Structure 1
Amino acid sequence: MAENEKLEQTTQAGSDKADKAKKDKKADKQKKPGIFARIGKWLKEMKSELKKVQWPTRKQTINNTLIVIACVIVVGIFIWIFDFIAGSAIDVLLTFLR
């Protein structure tokens, strides 16, 4: 008899927890704004964050662009030289193997 009472108590406790979880989910859904409201809020927040950004001046932008172009050219030259040396080495090895 005691076992039956324990079983009933545990099933009631489990169902109470399930009911409470369902109520919490319903409450969360009711509190959550619609998709368009969330998109509007996100756009407003994004706009305010972009106002906080310290944008570079025209001179800084041109300077940084020139630095990047120079670095790309230098790295390209190094790759070209390495490719030329590696290709020549492979040609020399192939002539010895023939």
Structure 2
Amino acid sequence: MLREFLQSHLPQYLYVIGRPHLARMNYNELKIHILGLFEPTQEFDSLKIRELLSTDWTLKLTDKAVEMALLRYWRQGLLSRTRRAGRFQYALTERGFARKEWLLNNG
């Protein structure tokens, strides 16, 4: 599901199928991957986000890298977060939705 979404929304130079690894990500590439997981009313905990990202075999991300990205996006106001059952639940904010749309259109 994520792969199809990314294939249809990312320029070819950002997302290449068949490459077993990415040497270095474009600055906004991870942001597009993470924000692309969310619909306006969806919430995911950090574990679910890591699981969804791990299904894309072109991404080689450590848990710490994902956690730090989520923290950055929360600080930037792109994601909201609440703590439930010992985990943070993340949701897309209006600002995050606008940024996601802008990135997908202007990549």
TM-score normalised according to structure 1 size? 0.23
Larger relative contact order (C-alpha < 8 A, sep ≥ 6)?
A: 2
The structure with the largest helix share of the pair is 1
TM-score normalised according to structure 2 size? 0.21
Look at both structures and tell me which one has the larger radius of gyration over its CA atoms. 1
